[in-house]
Structure 1
Amino acid sequence: MLIKWSKPFRKNPKLVWGSFFAIGTVVYLKVWIPLTGLSIPCPIHAVTGLYCPGCGMTRSLTALLKLDLEAAFRYNSLVYALVPLYLCYWLLQRKKLHRTSNAVLIAMVILALGYGIARNLPLFDRLAPPDL
């Protein structure tokens, strides 16, 4: 028996894949990690002992699912700067303003690299994720 997808899903396969990704993420964060205690470790931190720009993301997303905004921000604050910039980039791409969207993309890369460097300096140790 073939599954008949509703009209929005047939016209937009990105919606299907995005839905599967979102459901998988929630199951991973709310079921797998609490049951097993196993999560994906950061390979950069495991090898070098340094914090990458993404360190603390899993715990940040878990805190967001619990609506604990303060803890989510504490685990990885970079996301809260990148999400609005990414939305701006996406809108500029849709409007075909490629020069401006490329500038926003470059700003996002520079911000991520700067954040990754700063969170490993003693002066900015508050940017490092707690409890690693």
Structure 2
Amino acid sequence: MAAVLAPLGVALAAGAAVAFVGAVNPNEPGHYPACPFLLLTGLYCPGCGGLRTVYALVHGDPATALGLNPLVVLLIPALVLLWGRWTLRAWSGGGSTGEPGAAPAWRSVRPVYVWSALAVMIAFWIVRNLPFGEFLAP
């Protein structure tokens, strides 16, 4: 049962972060630091608009969230799914490294999915900074 404490702790930390972003409007200047990549280059990173996206989702505005950062909107369900798998594996004991033959929880995601997600993120990063990808900018 102690193995379940890690995913529960992550859920608690993520919930607290989402609650904070929902309570402290990122659209108001001075509450959050600016994106360092944007400040240094003038270009948007894959996460630019992410805080405002979470704020919009917390306040029930998915259309605005999609307009700010569609990658974050698509990433949230994937992260919830991965967290759910991690929690189930921890609950059932399948993610424990102490069991003979049991794969560690971090090995439950196939490398092809990780590399594909990285490729999508890099493509999004590039396209949102090109003139024809202007609609992806926050």
Is the shorter-chain TM-score for this pair beyond 0.5, marking a shared fold? yes
Equivalent residues of 1:44, 1:51 under 8 A apart: yes
Q: Does 1:75 align with 2:84?
A: no
Question: 2:12 pairs with 13, 19, 33, which one?
Answer: 19
Tell me the TM-score normalized by structure 1.
Answer: 0.72
Is the CA contact 1:59–1:75 (under 8 Å) kept in the aligned structure 2? Answer: yes
Tell me: higher relative CO, structure 1 or 2? Use CA pairs within 8 A at least 6 residues apart.
2
Query: Does residue 126 of the first structure (1) align with residue 118 of the second (2)?
Result: no
In structure 1, the gaps of 5 or more residues are: 1-7
Identity %: 28
TM-score by length of 2: 0.69
Unaligned runs of 5+ in 2: 90-94, 96-101
Structure 2 Cα separation of the partners of residues 126 and 99 of structure 1: 35
**Contact 2:22 2:59 (8 Å CA) reproduced:** no
Cα distance, 1:22 vs. partner? 1.4
RMSD: 3.4
**How do 1:99-114 residues align onto structure 2 when only pairs under 5 Å count?**
101-114=110-123
Say if 1:114 and 1:33 are closer, same or farther in 2 by CA, change over 3 A. Answer: closer
Contact 2:44–2:128 (Cα < 8 Å) also in 1: yes
Partners of 1:100 and 1:34 lie apart in 2 by 35
The answer to whether structure 1 residue 42 and structure 2 residue 35 are counterparts is yes
C-alpha distance in 2 between matches for 1:125 and 1:35: 23
What is the rounded CA distance, in whole Å, between the counterparts of 2:46 and 2:115 in structure 1? Answer: 16
Alignment of 1:84-99 (within 5 A): 84-85=77-78, 87=81
Distance 2:120 2:71 in 1: 8
The alignment of Structure 1 onto Structure 2 pairs a total of residues equal to: 120
Match of 1:5 in 2: none
